[in-house]
Amino acid sequence: MFIDVHCHLEMLLPAEKAVKESVSNGVEKIISSSVDLNSMKKNIELSKKFSEVECCLGLHPSNLFLMNKKEISAALDFLEKNLPFCKAIGEIGLDFKHADTAEKKQKQTEVCKKQLVIAEKNSLSVVVHSRYAEKHSLQILSGFNGKVLLHWFDGSKNLFSEAVEKNYFFSVGPALIHNKDYLEKTSLIPLENLMLETDSPVEFAGKQAKPFWVKKVAEKLSKERKISLRKIEEQTTKNAKDFFSL
């Protein structure tokens, strides 16, 4: 059975249909990451409702633009009070694509660091977003003492190697079916550090991703790496279970 270690189930409506469809396609767990206060609340509810769903709690760097200081601290308070419901802190990190000022970058950096402190204090792993900020993300993480999952990491080959050396985990998704350059870079990730994701409901080639697409990703990896689909399935699922303590 497969595990989608990174999606946003709370944005996939109706969630019930997405869960059923996943189970009937060989997915045993869906790990839904949060982006703001509202999505944390929804994800907790979904994890209570479905035995197949687990959640991560955290503030996404891009969502911070819409939040003032008071709202951020209220959301972080909520996060700390609800840690028993979550399997990791996520998704947190940096996204410099739309952070066009030093001030915005600084805000992302501060909130990311605060969440790393919460994770470390509570011995939780982190799920990290690092779009257009791969180098800075690795720099911040170098001070973090805990397990790291880099979601859809797309840095340079050097940065891939650096993260592999640190024994970070990587989750790869449908982008490797459509993007040769990304596929090639992900070949640097040992199978022991690899997990599957979809980032649903993100669109790929005009179609909204669904958690069960992890199977398509595994099939592509199997073909590329010349490893049986069974082996990809077993190892990525084992990695996910160890990482999220499932």
Q: Which residues bind Zn ion (CB under 5 A)?
A: 199
Are the CB atoms for 7 and 200 separated by under 8 Å? yes
Distances from the Cα of 190 to the Cα of 160, 186, 236, angstroms: 11, 9, 11
Q: How far apart are CA 171 and CA 190, in angstroms?
A: 12
Cα dihedral angle (222, 228, 234, 237), rounded to 10 degrees?
A: 10
The distance of closest approach from Cβ of residue 35 to Zn ion in the complex, given in angstroms and rounded to an integer, is: 7
Q: Which is nearer to Zn ion, 50 or 152 (CB)?
A: 152
Closest CA to 56 of 147, 157, 144, 125: 125
Q: Which is nearer to Zn ion, 9 or 76 (CB)?
A: 9
Q: Which is nearer to Zn ion, 24 or 186 (CB)?
A: 186
Q: Which is nearer to Zn ion, 56 or 141 (CB)?
A: 56
Q: How far apart are CA 77 and CA 75, in angstroms?
A: 5
Kindly give, in sequence order, each residue whose CB lies less than 8 Å from that of residue 138, ignoring residues fewer than 6 positions away: 130, 155, 159, 162, 163, 166
Q: How far apart are CA 237 and CA 174, in angstroms?
A: 17
Strand 194-196 to 86-93 pairing:
unpaired
Q: Which is nearer to Zn ion, 54 or 199 (CB)?
A: 199
In this structure, what DSSP letter does residue 30 have?
Answer: E
Q: Which is nearer to Zn ion, 52 or 197 (CB)?
A: 197
